[in-house]
Every structure is written in C-alpha cells, then in structure tokens.
Structure 1
Amino acid sequence: MRSFSFTGLLCLVSIAPFLRVLAAPPKACAPKVKESVIPPRGWTQHGIPSPDHTIVLRIALPQPDFNLLEKHLYEVSDPSHARYGDHLSKEEVERLVAPHQDSIDAVDEWLRSYNIDSNDVHRSAAKDWVTVKIPVSLAEKMLDTTYHVWEHSDGDQIVRTTSYSLPENLHAHIDLVQPTTMFGRFKGLKSTIVWPDEAEAPPQLKTLVGTVNTASGAIVDASCNTTITIKCLQQLYNAVGFTPKILKNSIGITGYLEQFANIQDLQSFYAEQRPDALNSSFKFISVKGGLNDQNLSLAGAEANLDVQFAFGLSFPIPGTFWSTAGRPPFKPDVGTPTNTNEPYTDWLDFVLSHPSPPLSISTSYGDDEQTVPKSFAIRACASFAQLGVRGVSLMFSSGDGGVGDNNPNPATQQCFTNDGRNATRFIPLFPASCPFVTSVGGTVGVPEVAVSRFFSGGGFSDYFERPWYQEKAVKKHLSTLPKGTYKGLYNPKGRGIPDVAAQGDRFRIFLSGVPRMIGGTSASSPTFAGIVALLNDVRLSKKLPPLGFLNPLLYSVDSSAFNDITVGHNSGCGTTGFNATRGWDPVTGLGTPNFGILAKLVVQKGH
C-alpha cells in the first residue's frame, strides 16, 4: 500500500521504479528545464496574455517500441525485401507506438495533482498523446514558466514561452509539451503572385522549346510552355489514355488555414479540363471544427489548386478533402481566445484514428525546419511513419524559397541560425525534411527545367540524418560538388530533399469563378500525388497491395522511370543555391515521373 504523497511518488519513480515501500516520504521533485529555445529572428515580446487565455496542451508520451515500427516500415517499403507490401493494420501500429503503463500513470497523476479531471483529458488512439484544454495561468504553474504574446515583424501574434520545466522524474515519461517553444509559421507553399488568365509568359519560358518529344517519347503540346493543364501533365508524364479501374483506391488533400475547396470552381475546372468528371465531387471531412464555406468569394487558391489538379489527374479515383481548423500565427484577442496547436498534428491525430485513410495524400504546407523544435519534428515525423507502414503514401511540397530565403535583398533575408549565433545557414523545410515522407520539388517548361520564378525548395536537413535509401544517390551528388562548396551553410550528412519533382508553375485553376494562373511546389505535390494514385490503381488491379511509403522504391528503380532534370538551380540566402544535375540533386530530386515506365515497374514488385 502506498503511504506517500503524489509528489513523493513522482520522485520515487525516477530513482527506484520498482520500489514500493519507503521508511519516510521523499521530498517533492524540483522542476528541471525540459526544453528552451532562442526566439527566431523577427519575433519580439509584445505583452502578457490574459490569465484566462486558453491553451490546448499536447503532451507526448515516449514510444519505447518505435524502433520496431521503423524496422517494419523499411521492410514493407523495400521492394527487395520479402515483406514488401505487407503493411500493418491500425491496431498493430498502435501497439508498436503505445507508451509503457508507467508513463501513462505518471502523467495521469501529475495532471490530477492540478485538479485536471480524467474527463477533461483527451488521448490519442495509441495513448501516446494526451491533450488538455486549460487556462494559460494553469499551464504556467504546471510548466514552471511564463507565457508571453510574441509578435512577428509582419504583425502575426502567438502565445509562446522560450523555456518550460517538468518535475525531474517526469522527464523520462514525457517527450515534449506544446504549444510552448514552437515559433513555426505554418504556411502554404505557393507563389504570392496569381496571374490573370491572359497574363504574358515570363521571359525564361519563351526560350524553351514548344512542342517536344520528352524522355518518354510523348509529344507535348506547345501551349504547355505557358499554361499547365491536366492534359499537359498527362503528356509530360506519359499517362495519356490511362483510365483507373479500381474505385477502392483513394486520394486525399489536406486543407489548413481556412482554405476552402470550392465545388462550383471545381465544376468549372472539370468542364474545361476534365469534362468526363463533370458533376462529380469529393468527400469533405471536418477536423477539429474545420469549416467548409462554399461562398464563392471565399474560395482558397491553395485548396482549389490542390483539389482541382490532384483529383482531376486521378479521376475517377475517389477523393477526400480535410479541412482542419487552427491557425498558429494569430491575434490573441477576444475573437480568437484559444491558442491552437500546429494544425497538422490535429490532422494526424484524426487520420491515424481511422482504419482506412486514403492511400495517396498531398500536403502543400510547411515551416522552416529550425522554427520547429527538434523534439516536436521527431514526434510528428514518427506519426508520418505510422501512416507509411499502414500503406499510405505521403507527399509534401519541398518549399518555394530555394535553399532558404530567395528574397533578393540581403538586408531582409532570413537565412540565419536560431541558436544565438545568427550564423548564415541554408534553411530546409519541415515536414518535407522528414525521412518518412516524399518531398516534391518544382519544374517548369518543356523540356522541363528547375522552376525559376520562385525556387524549388531543396537542401539538407539539420535534424534528420541521411536515410539509407538515399545514401548512394546523395553521396554521388555530393562527390561532384567542388571541394568547399557552401561549407558550413548546410549539413552534408543530413536527409536530402527533395526526393522527386513535378511541374510547379503557371497552373490554370478556377478561383472564385475566374480562371487564374498560380504556381509553387504546392502545385508539384498534388500533381505527384495524382500520379501515385494512378500507380496504386495499377497495383490494386493486379491484386497487389498499395505502394505505401514510396522512397525506398523510388531510389531503387531504374533511372528511366524519371525524367532527369539537369538545368536550373535553387537560389536563396544570397547564393545561387545548388544546381540541377544528372541523377539526384537537391533541386529536383530524382526528377519528374514517367508513369508509363513506373506502371510496369510497380507490378514487378509483388508481395
């Protein structure tokens, strides 16, 4: 029988987890700093939030068997392994990421000590995340910290702290608590320029060839040099004439930041570019109160772009669009009383709780990697791995800032470290830098070159080591760089991005009833996701499992499966960035897909 206080139990657990008898209760554990950061450039303290300001705390419990899940992921995703395609079920994954009961009990008792009732605690399906909604005044007591309102130079405001502490014994039972030290500015990855339909082509496109035989032998219409349509993508990527057969297939698009995919705009797009899809739509799912405002004037450029091209390219494969509530940079006033978490974690919680998520999913949003605490990035990345091992392919835009910030004015560039040194550094993007997702860069023109109006995000992660599947390709590229190139500006041992590329500029969409041109790697990711959905159809029609986590396959297939991009670069941080070269490069990855060849290769990789 326990005869000591809760705080005594906490201290006892960390010193002797199996001891059950004490001569006298130990002293309460002192708080110890769990995590601290230096505020990123551009953020300044603006004030103190109201004590009643609401925070939704997310508490991550350790996943002691994640190494086993990672082993499963690589085995079922490696086409040379006997288990290729043998994906795990939702329940099998949850067992692999579940925390030890000791951690659950320790966190529960800690919460109870602050009178947080179990009815007010939300748990993820695997119990590895605990969420509580509390006033900031209570959060400050629990975390031995002080929150402030922080304002960015562009006016965005968030409620954050630069350091938080936990009782020392709880450090072994809690990986992280957020929102605390996360200053990320979750953003859509599209060009800020939306051209009218009749806009003139940029000068660099006028120098490219019009109608041309691509590497696949397909002929591409000359108009694709100035306007990208579904027909252009089918021609460029050797998918003309292919019609999906398996309607049990699926594709999904994530939507954030009050981006609404407008159905009327989709019908206008289909009428012009995909008439056989006219009057079809997609499944809408609200996450955490995400809205679906169909007012034509509120249509989202990002959401419309993603939905129109991903679903238009993969029709008639059923599509899903998630609208996830939450906007991390916000004004903490009466109108927005709750400090939301980074919304892709809310989406991850939701989608992981469902037994059959779409098989190909595209996300066109991200943060600068260094503004995301490493502990948080690792845990979010682990959640992406959970989807991959279940047979889901995840695509993320690689970013539009080249190797960091392609602002031509050095005085306003943001390519500096957040570690207090303010050293110049290339800035990779997260989640694109996660090794368990497929990062998609951008190309333009016919024949394709690295996109040059904005710059295809690429480089090397500072958080994640280079995974085995890209070791050969990346090392080969690095060996071609002149000695000392950009020394100290990037991590040559880091995970290289992007993995692949697709067209990313001058996409013709319908927005608020009007045709528009738009660009960014936010166009590239849904395009590649559409191709992956078609490839899944090829496998499913042969009664083979879906592709799941793609990267081990992509880096192992014959180079003819990709249109190698060898022209262009990704400027940024006052440099010309990296060059597109033969083979993999940190601008366009392995290149753009050749569906015809990939369709033959994926059925050779059976299970």
Structure 2
Amino acid sequence: MRSLLSCLVLLTSFVSAAPSARTSSFEVKEKVFPPRDWKIHSDASPDHKIELKIGLPQPNFDILEKHLYEVSDPSHYRYGQHLSKEEVEAIVAPHPESLELVTEWLASHGIGEQDITRSSAQDWMTITVPVRVAEKMLDTTYHVWKHTTSGESIVRTTSYSLPIHLHDHIDVIQPTTTFARLKSFKSTIHRFDKETGQIVAQSDTPMISASGVSVDPSCNTTVTVTCLKQLYNATDITPSATINNSFGITGYLDQFANFQDLQSFYAVQVPDAVNSSFTVISVAGGQNNQTLSEAGDEADLDIEFGFGITFPINGTFFTTAGSPPFIPDLDTPTDTNEPYISWLDFILAQEEIPLVITTSYGDDEQTVPESFAKRACAGFAQLGIGDGGVGDGDPDPATQTCITNDGTNKTEFLPLFPASCPYVTAVGGTIHVPEVAVDFSGGGFSNYFSRPAYQDAAVSAFFENFPNGTFAGLFNPNGRAIPDVAAQADNFQVVIGGETGLIGGTSAASPTFAGFVALINDARLKAGLPSLGFLNPLFYSTAISGFNDITSGNAPGCGTEGFNATVGWDPVTGLGTPDVGKLISLVTAI
C-alpha cells in the first residue's frame, strides 16, 4: 500500500493512433533566454540521440490536489485514508483525445507504438530519437551548450514549437529548454586522518537541548547519531523491523553508497546495526560500485545517518544512472544529464515504495522551465510525500551571483527546486547546541509556485514582524515559502573511502529529518494507524508545537545578510527542528 491519496475516478481508456495525421502550422510552445553561465559550444550532431519526455495534460489535477490535502489534513475526517497507485493514476490520466492526437503526431514522424514508453498513468510518453528528427518534430535547432565554470556540456535549445492543434494536448517536452545542473547540497567537507579522528568534548558539562534533554558536550563540534537522538528527544525510541515500515534514500551523479564504510560507521556509532545492510535498487541502469576510492561523500553521508537513525527499519538506496559531463565531441549514444526525472518516472510506476524518501539534490528554480517544474511537482503530489534539503543557490557565498535568467539580469534571491514544490517537505539547517541557523541554510520564496494554504498563518505571522521594504524586489513574498523545517547540518562524523572525517551541508539535514519521520511512522504503525503521508499540512497545524523554534542565526548571500531566524516560522529554519517524542505524542492521538 502506498502513501498516496483517496478518491474514486474511472480509469481513462487508452486510445490508439488514428490512421491519418492531422496537420496545422507551428507555433512556439516554450522559449527561454540564453541561460547565464552557459555558452553555445557547437552544433549538435544530427545523429546524437535524445530521450524526449512528452508530458500530457492532467485535466483532473485539481481533484488530485483536493484529495491530497484532505487526506493530509489532521482535522479532516479522511485524514490518513491513503489509496492505491491505481486509484491515483486514474485521477492524473490524460484525456483520450490528447492520447489520440499525440500518438497520431508521433506516427507521422515514423514513431510507432513499439517506439513509445508510456507511464503507468499514460500521462508521460518517452521516445528516443536522433537530433535531426527532434528538430523536425519541434521546428527547432539543438546546440551543444557548455557551462563556463564546471565545463559540463549538454544538448539543448532555447525554443521549440508544436503544431497549433497540439498545444492544448502537450504540457511540456524535455530535454529542450531545461538547463538545470543537478547537484547535491553539501557546503562544507572537512577531512582529517582516520587514526586521529577522535570525538573530543570541549567541556565535561552536559548541554540541555530545546527539548529539555541532556546532550553530550562533544556534540557542539562533532555530530553523531547519538547526538542527534539526544538533541531531538529520540533516545528512548526503539523502532521495529517487523511492522512493514520503510525508508528510502536517492543517489545520483555516480554517488555510490559503500557497504564497508557503513559497517565501519556502525561499529563506532550504531554497534547494534553491525552486519545489517540495505537494499540497492538500480534505476535506469544505475550502479553502486564498491571500490573504496569510488565511495561517494554524499551517498555515504546519506546512508550512514539515514540508516543509522532508522535502524532496524527496512532501508532502500536508489542509485540512478546519468551523470554530466556529456562530451560533445564523442559519439555518445544518449545525453544522460537528467537522472532526476528518470527516478521520478521509475518510482511512480512502482506498486510499493518506501513510506519516507529523502533526496539531497536539486538546482536553482530558474534553471528549470516553469512548465517542467510544475509537471515534476505534480509527480510529488502523486507520491504524497518528499524531503529535500534547501540551499540558497551556490552554497559558497564567494561564487553566488544571484542573477536572474529572464533577460533582465536582475539581482534576486534564487529559490531552489524541487524544494520549492509545495508537495515536498523542504529542510533547512542548524548548528551547535543551543541550535542556531547555520549560515548556509538557504530559504526564501518560490517564483513558480504560490503560497499553499497550509502556510498562510505561519508565513503571514512572519511578515507581520518583517520590516517593510527589506530586500524589496529580491524575492516574491507571495510564493511558496521554504524551508518547512530544519535539522543539524554541519560537523557530521562520517566514514568515506575508509577514512573518518567531518562533513556538512543541508545534504546532512535532509536524511536526518527524514530519518526521524520514519521513527514517527514507526510509532503510528505500532498504534495501528496509517503512515503519515504528506507531512506539511500536519506540521503547520496540529503538530506545530512539536518543533523547537530556532530564533538565532541567518543565511547570508547575494551581498546581503539574508533572512534571519526569528520567533515562529522563518525562511531560514522553517518551523524549527523536531522534538520527536512530542511529535509522536501528537500524531498518535489523531
């Protein structure tokens, strides 16, 4: 059973292509300005193959959204009444006319049913074609674009067109105008020799967390699983391995999760977990190489703390193929710069998925065309849950440019995607005890998504005390506000490639927070209740008192001091950090 939605809608039937194709003149479907930091390198080879994903409209998405909020609202009688994958797919299925017309259009370009991969809900069609065919289909010209800083290269266009009669039947086609550079949100990595990597307390006096729990003084400089459980009032929680609870972690960009490193980590931090493991699921041919030299810092951080917090809950690591750079002067068969969407396609097709999934990857919202961002966000609505660390553009303040890609070159705070999607739970970062906002904990307000109703009270209260005119023009005050919550994000002690060291970033905060959500699910399942599903409506209402309010610190950027942490919700630490014991009491009473 998946953590999804609840309603009954008749499944839309698939309609095959008509024997003859309708024709109409081309009209521009989408156009973007040449993106900052990307320059045309060369013409794209006409034989270079592109995997095009065609998103068909979901005419009943408003119904899906309505039911999502109903089953996620603890004050609603349908709270927790999650339904099956098939019932959700019935809601998002496209209209039969859209299926017919798009299939007919593809057939007119020699693309038959055997060449099309359809999503379970029929709302996505995937084809692989040479550039010369894509250019004809979309009345466009592809180029190889090169990123001036990283050297990454991709095959893209800044505009594409469709026959007029198809405009209402196709939401988006990508890769065309997407210039996102999928990246993890690590901001600091500090390594030291494994023989000297000892945890040293600055004093012998225990600290008291905001939850009123005693915390070892060493946690101020070195964060361990024990530190996090002390800090967030979870030391007395013993999860079960036998109640069908589950926890998932995503991996991209050849970030391999190393089994040996995990065992070394367990030996020091979670002795009871030694010799336990996790399931690896390959997406689109993703690998998980076990050579120590290939151990991924992001992947190891995620599995060590994510699975360390949740042991013995069933854990899954999704390794998704695809990694830049694409080399434009080689005969590369396909361009694999968009692994994130490959994972979303895969997970939406599964009958069973983890009850909590954490991801620490994304990019500036503006590098993802709005049409594509909204369709990807709709995918998260189908899942009913998501967790993503949020930063403020480039985590290094020295390289933040904060310049828009809309042709105006304005200075602006740049929100991140998918954290800006209102159907995921975005996680900011803190540091030390007592906790303060860590300086790389970004946040702000989406330019694509309006503020969801569940945020109205908390965000309106923030603006009541926000000085008028502050950062005027640098952010959209009516946008979806991020982050939602926060957790520790720096000085995490990890084992990577056989060596012990410290690592940080909102990449650390996301698996940490998600791990504690899995513990809360454990308590609900033991009580005979369904899993939490989509978290945000609960967090902003009934469970709001289950967070430790962070009121100090700020996240500078774009030549400013950035937003400050303050009383109540703020765009640095959200509602605050979890008091797991209190949250369990709250959510097992509804």
Distance 2:353 2:366 in 1: 30
Q: 1:180-201: per-residue Cα shift (whole Å, max 9, x none)?
A: 0000011011025332255899
1:267 equivalent in alignment to 2:267: no
Asked if 1:116 is matched to 2:111, the reply is: yes
Q: What is the CA–CA distance in structure 2 between the aligned matches of 1:269 and 1:199, rounded to whole Å?
A: 12
Give the secondary structure class of the aligned counterpart of 2:319: strand
Q: When the two structures are superposed, what TM-score results if normalisation uses the length of structure 2?
A: 0.94
Name the SS for the 1:241 alignment partner: coil
Q: Select which of 387, 402, 408 maps to 1:395.
A: 387
- 1:506 and 2:491 equivalent? yes
How far off its partner does 1:330 sit? Answer: 2.7
Give the equivalent residue in structure 1 for 2:535. 550
What is aligned with 2:404?
417
Deviation of 1:481 after TM superposition, in Å, equals: 1.1
Tell me the equivalent position of 2:172. Answer: 176
In structure 2, what is the equivalent of residue 93 of structure 1? 88
User: 2: CA distance between counterparts of 1:324 and 1:209?
Assistant: 45
Structure 2, gaps ≥5 residues long: 1-17
Q: CA shift at 1:328, angstroms?
A: 5.1
Pairing 1:596–2:581 present:
yes
Contact 1:211 1:446 in 2 (8 A): no
Give 1:210 deviation, angstroms: 6.5
1:79-108 Cα shifts (integer Å, max 9, x gaps): 000000001210001100000111111111
Structure 1 pair 545/5, CA: closer, same or farther in 2 (3 Å)?
closer
Is contact 1:406-1:574 (8 Å) kept? Answer: no
- RMSD (Å) for aligned C-alpha atoms: 1.9
Give the C-alpha shift of residue 563 in structure 1.
1.0
Q: Indicate which of 362, 366, 369 corresponds to 1:370.
A: 366
SS in 2 for 1:440: strand
Structure 1: how far apart are the matches of 2:489 and 2:290? 26
Q: Give the letter aligned to residue 367 of structure 1.
A: D
> 1:534 maps to which residue?
519
Give distance in 2, aligned partners of 1:311 and 1:170.
Answer: 47
Deviation at 1:329, TM superposition (A): 4.6
Name the aligned partner's letter for residue 407 of structure 2. G
Distance 2:575 2:168 in 1: 40
Q: CA deviation at 1:406?
A: 5.7
CA contact (8 A) 2:156 2:177 kept: yes
| Aligned with 2:274 (options 278, 295, 302) | 278
Q: Partners of 2:330 and 2:337 in 1: how far apart?
A: 18
1:241 deviates by 2.2
CA distance in 2, matches of 1:309, 1:515: 14
For 1:343, the aligned partner's letter is: P
- 1:313–1:408: structure 2 CA closer, same or farther, 3 Å change rule? closer
SS at match of 1:492: coil
Structure 1 unaligned residues grouped into runs of 5+? 10-27
Match of 2:286 in 1: 290
1:469 aligns with 2:465: no
1:131 and 2:126 matched: yes
Which residue does the alignment assign to 1:44? Answer: 39
Question: Which residue, 247, 250, 255 being the options, matches 2:251?
Answer: 255
| 350, 353, 364: which one aligns with 1:354 | 350
1:379 corresponding residue in structure 2: 375
Distance between the aligned counterparts of 2:489 and 2:546, measured in 1?
Answer: 19
Q: Distance in 2 between matches of 1:474 and 1:328?
A: 38
Equivalent-residue separation in structure 2 for 1:38 and 1:199 (angstroms): 49
**What is the aligned length?**
569
TM-aligned CA deviation for residue 503 of structure 1:
0.4
For residues 151-190 of structure 1, the C-alpha deviation after alignment (integer angstroms, 9 at most, x for no partner) is 1112111110000000000001100100000000110110
Deviations 1:325-368 (A, max 9, x none): 11255323436431135212111111111111000110000010
- 1:458–1:498 Cα contact (<8 Å) kept: yes
CA apart distance, 1:145: 0.3
CA spacing shift, 1:378–1:426, aligned 2, 3 Å: same
Cα distance, 1:170–1:54 mapped onto 2, change above 3 Å: same
2:571 to 586, 590, 603: 586
Output the CA distance in 1 between the equivalents of 2:306 and 2:498: 19
Contact 1:406 1:573 in 2 (8 A): no
- Cα distance in 1 for residues equivalent to 2:204 and 2:473: 38
Deviation at 1:408, TM superposition (A): 4.4
Structure 2 residue corresponding to 1:147, chosen from 142, 150, 153: 142
After superposition, give the CA deviation of every residue in 1:489-530 in whole Å (9 maximum; x if it has no partner): 000000100000000001111101111110000000000110
Residues 77-92 of structure 1 mapped to structure 2, 5 A cutoff:
77-92=72-87
SS of corresponding position for 2:559: coil
